[in-house]
Structure 1
């Protein structure tokens, strides 16, 4: 058996360092397939371009304007569900099923706080995510330069999360909370992670995917107490959603429009495209950005750490959600995983080197019998 090579950036050998040649060659073939699939993003539909003109803000940021009007109505003393129903009707949005109404958590908090305070809280949360991941990633890298690169990649994934105009966007808050929860979770410290995961669900319901994955992996690894803690947050969320559905039913009228559904079936390329437009990859050529998304998935797979498994499983779940159910106007679902996805590129050098070396290993052991 070949001895693992000295790591390039990481403190410990990558997941592929001790692979035998045949599995390594299959791994390379799978990587090629992922990269080829990533390039389908070039043909995938996307949202219409944003003009950034103040005159067209209502069209470019229709959802943001909607959430701002709801917060204004609640701040003026209106009932959240009545205000939201009126705003949805005014904007020609569907009101059925009940999940077309966001949970009231974020709007209620915003209505109680001055706008500058809410923006400051968003920036504080973003700073907390950066700090938590810096602390979590520091032992993973052997030297300071790759640590700095990993933090820069994290910042690149958070480019859309420090825009004051998006302070009312639910996915912005939920995505940061998921990133913070991931960074804080350790086998012997999971309560804070579960708490932030629950807050993420109460702001944006699709965060239930992340919490469900954390619960399943905790069960699979034998962390029973932690697993039941995550299940408890899911139970609380189920109660809240039930009450929310009832409240929505009280303000919806029989003739209110129904959502066209979420069976977009746009495929893996659409997921890749959402990642390129939700992160700093938006600045790169489309073909390069698409390939980098595929490579960052490989990078996460290369890091031998329980956190990498959780991050990759979470990214995979939202990739499936976007590929199967996303529409061009729901590309913002990708914001749920955007903050952390690019960090995977920091694990790429070790993982790719180790996989290639393992695939090319042709050494044989020759046993010679000597007779005296």
Structure 2
């Protein structure tokens, strides 16, 4: 009986399979011993992981800044003038303009009733977060029932999706642009079914994510590349249009910020930090529920998430694997310790990969050691 067609590694030749197996074991060991750092120190355990939410500070400095900017907007003030005031008060840079967030999230939150305590989040935002979580779970439950290999792990995989997106319900993080943008990308990924002509919903969700945080751009570019590769010209045109609209909006944003800059405003430190594997793991672990378990387990679990996605042979799994590896490379090159929340862009959907780890391991092992597989088969006969 041949291995399932949706097992990517099962039909590989022994040489490449053994190389990937050795690479996997190497990364698992490295992930277990690599330190994960936030702006407040090294994450090592459950208690340390909670520093992100509780810590010695009453509120993370970045989050407190977003709180204050939103309060300015509730008083009817201009977003960019409010940003300039608060950035200067906190000695935050206005240069380069990318240091200033897009106005979308603050503008929306300013229209909602203010929370009694910013650290707890607002009630309307909590309802919106729960609605987004429910939408993600429903979309992926349906998708897993239709995807090759998804039906067999449907319940377990949906539980894993919940563990990934549950972070959306934490009120402490509601002012983070990456939180909402990452949740919308998780929804977009579940809605993306171009083989059935269904990509409009994904386009809308991705556009919303991009309007909140420019870090969603790689997601859009990769979907555009997939459409181009498969010669789906209408879909490719839609993604190209979205990129064009984003570039125009970002140019206007940067131009507006540049008009506020004074000679004495500080220039932000470089995001080119070359933190390597620690940068990738720090971003993902500290911005997900992996932060609640010891670091020596959280790191290998993150590696297995990507491995599980890689082992599932479907178009969406190929897309997800390339997406997570691409963001991982970016996190290894850029981003500082106080940018830990960037990982929220991808962390919610990485969890689903764990559902396919057993299948991927079985396929990889049988491909790497075909003689053992053949011997087992002959003994069974």
Secondary structure of the residue aligned to 1:45 is: strand
Q: Which residue of 1 aligns with 2:2?
A: 4
CA deviation vs aligned residue, 1:190-232 (integer Å, no higher than 9, x gap) = 1111121111111001111111111112212222221221111
Counterpart pick for 2:10 among 11, 14, 17: 17
What displacement does 1:40 show?
A: 4.7
Q: TM-score, normalised by structure 2?
A: 0.87
User: Is 1:268 aligned to 2:268, yes or no?
Assistant: no
Deviation at 1:20, TM superposition (A): 2.3
The answer for the alignment partner of 2:117 in structure 1 is none
C-alpha distance in structure 2 between counterparts of 1:178 and 1:226, whole Å: 17
Partners of 1:363 and 1:320 in 2: how far apart?
36
Higher deviation after alignment, 219-228 or 239-248: 219-228
Does structure 1 residue 45 correspond to structure 2 residue 52?
A: no
The yes-or-no answer on 1:242 pairing with 2:238 is: no
- Offset of residue 363 of structure 1: 8.6
- Against the structure 1 CA distance between its residues 221 and 245, is the aligned structure 2 distance closer, same or farther, given a 3 Å change threshold? same
- Residue matched to 2:119: none
User: Does residue 1:66 correspond to 2:58, yes or no?
Assistant: no
Distance 1:153 1:265, change over 3 A: same
Alpha-carbon separation, structure 2, partners of 1:148 and 1:209: 30
1:57 alignment counterpart: 58
Any conservation in 1 of the 2:287–2:342 contact (CA below 8 Å)? no
CA distance in 1: counterparts of 2:294 and 2:17, whole angstroms = 30
Kept after mapping to 1: 8 A contact 2:144/2:151: no
Partner of 2:314: 305
Which shifted more, 43-52 or 187-196?
43-52
Query: Taking structure 1 as reference, are residues 135 and 57 closer, same or farther at Cα in structure 2, changes over 3 Å only?
Result: same
* RMSD (CA atoms): 2.2
User: Bigger CA drift: 46-55 or 77-86?
Assistant: 46-55
- Distance in 1 between residues matched to 2:150 and 2:313, nearest whole Å: 18
Contact 1:68 1:168 in 2 (8 A): yes
Alpha-carbon separation, structure 1, partners of 2:151 and 2:360: 19
Q: CA deviation at 1:165?
A: 2.1
Q: Find the residue that maps to 1:304 and give its secondary structure.
A: coil
The question of 1:87 aligning with 2:86 is answered yes
Distance change >3 Å, CA 15–CA 216, structure 1 → 2: same
Q: 1:173 and 2:180 equivalent?
A: yes
Residues 55 and 337 (structure 1 numbering): CA distance in 2 closer, same or farther, change over 3 Å? closer
Query: Contact conserved, 1:64 with 1:169, CA < 8 A, in 2?
Result: yes
Give the alignment partner of residue 290 of structure 2, picking from 258, 261, 281. Answer: 281
For structure 2, list consecutive stretches of 5 or more residues without a partner in the other structure: 41-47, 114-121, 375-381
Q: How far apart in 2 are the matches of 1:99 and 1:34?
A: 33
Length-normalised TM-score, structure 1 = 0.89
Aligned partner of 1:106 in structure 2 is: 105
Describe the SS at the equivalent of 1:262. coil
Q: Please say if residues 193 and 199 of structure 2, whose CA atoms lie closer than 8 Å, have aligned partners that are also in contact.
A: yes
Contact 1:263 1:326 in 2 (8 A): yes
Highest Rg: 1 or 2?
A: 1
